[in-house]
Amino acid sequence: MATTSPAQPSILIVDDVPENIKILFLILKGDYELHHATSGRQALSLLAKAKKPDLILLDLMMPEMDGFELCSTLKQDPETHDIPVIFITAKSDTESETRALAEGAVDFIHKPINTEVVRARVRLHLKLNQHAKGLFLANAEQTEWITTLQSRVHKQTSLIRGKIEASRLEHDRRQNSSDAIVFVLADLLRQRCQRLSKHSHTVASLAETMAKALDLPRAQVEEIRHAGLLHDIGLIGSPDRLLIYNVKSLGDADTVNYLAHPVRGQQISDSFEELKGIGRHIRHHHEAFDGSGFPDGFSGEEITLGGKIIHLAGFIENSFEQFAGRDAKYKVSRKVAAGMGVLFDPALSSAANLAIKEVLIEQSLPDESGEEIPVKDLRVGMKLGRNLHNNIGVLIVERGTLLTSANLDSIKRHRLVYAGH
């Protein structure tokens, strides 16, 4: 048993082979409070007597009580139900992995053990578990929904990370990892509220177009796009009445809750090492150029450029939803122009007009033949006939999206395959 620290998360390692336990101790020592058991029965006895761990690393093949049986037992006990379990095993067949997830495990790591994979998976699942607990405490009336959030994130992220690992694209590993987390969280937002998800995808496209128009570096453009996709993630655990367009109708308590969602959004993104750069943009996405926004009342250069862009993109999207007809773009442009120097940074004016033109104006579909269209032949104005995924299976662009120069670049960057039917 390792030296304990009050600030360290605790991990229970269950494996009948002492050498495997020693390897995991060497990988994780110093960062966590580590405990171990050499059988399922010993693990249950330890859990009944001691403080519950924050995570369990569980061997699959053990005598008497194997990993499947132990995991099932843990998930049936209210005292241990919420402890995330990661299987570590030499078995690599799909049936074993599927059964592990069905029994309630959150991830499946294959032997031989890879040091960086173990550290990354452990860190990710501890962060997800910590955040799920925070959501539970902050929003008691959403208890049933929030308790399912953790397992959804665990399962989807672990499957995506597995595909990343299998792809062997080591030089893209960090970028793929951040993409995976962003799109898992974005998909959870979609499951929570379709309207909010549509809004977030449009805001991300508008923000990306504006960032490119400003000739920002590619990495900064991608950071702003990710922040646009997740700018409202702080609302994910909120009651339904907070997910409406007109927040002026909310009561005092709900208004306070709503005004805090940019802060919660930053806390969510900052809990992932890969997403720390986008948190400040999420926090600032309701700050106004004249200081009349929230949550901090920042103004001018106190607001991040990403925050300014996403605030303006959100305003454009919400305004466009209010208008219909051929003059919708003109009406939105007028509203945006009226806000320059007050709500918005005037330096974004030209970029905003370009984004309105490219992202919001619908164009006819040139080819409705239903034939396969190569990526190189895609053009601005085409409407996607199905969802597009990248080479690791992550949803990048949804069906029905009108192609702009911004999302065309994204499609080509992720080497997508398109069928225009």
Pairing of strands 395-397, 388-389: antiparallel
Average pLDDT (394-399) is 63
Minimum mean pLDDT range among 120-129, 237-246, 248-257, 347-356: 237-246
Tokens describing residue 159:
């499957």
Q: How distant, in Å, are the alpha carbons of 110, 126, 233 from that of 120?
A: 14, 10, 23
**pLDDT per residue as tens digits for the range 174-185:** 556 677 788 788
For 188, half-sphere exposure in the C-beta direction (CA atoms, 13 angstrom radius) is 27
Q: What is the pLDDT of residues 59-94, one digit of tens each?
A: 999 988 999 999 999 999 989 988 999 998 888 777
Please check the confidence at residue 226 and state whether its pLDDT lies above 60.
yes
Give the CATH fold of the 191-361 domain.
Hypothetical protein af1432 (1.10.3210)
Mean pLDDT within 318-326:
80
- DSSP conformational letter for 8: S
- What's the topology of domain 363-421? Molybdopterin biosynthesis moea protein, domain 2 (3.90.105)
- Looking at mean pLDDT, say which of 233-242, 290-299, 321-330 comes out highest: 290-299
The full set of domain ranges for the chain reads 1-168, 191-361, 363-421
CA distances from 168 to 111, 114, 123 (A): 16, 13, 21
Supply the mean pLDDT for the chain: 80
Coarse DSSP helix, strand, coil percentages of the chain, rounded to the nearest 5 percent: 60, 10, 35
Nearest alpha carbon to residue 164 among 150, 155, 152, 174: 174
Residue 286: pLDDT band (50, 70, 90) is: very high
**Rounded distance between C-alpha atoms, residue 38 and residue 285, angstroms:** 50
In order, the DSSP letters of 344-378 are B-GGGHHHHHHHIIIIIS----S--S--B--GGG-
User: Which segments of 49-200 are extended strands (E)?
Assistant: 55-59, 85-89, 107-110
The CATH number corresponding to 1-168 among 3.30.530.20, 3.40.50.2300, 3.40.50.150, 3.65.10.10 equals 3.40.50.2300
Burial of 81 (0-12, 13-18, 19+ CB in 10 A): exposed
Decide if 60 contacts 67 (C-beta within 8 A). yes
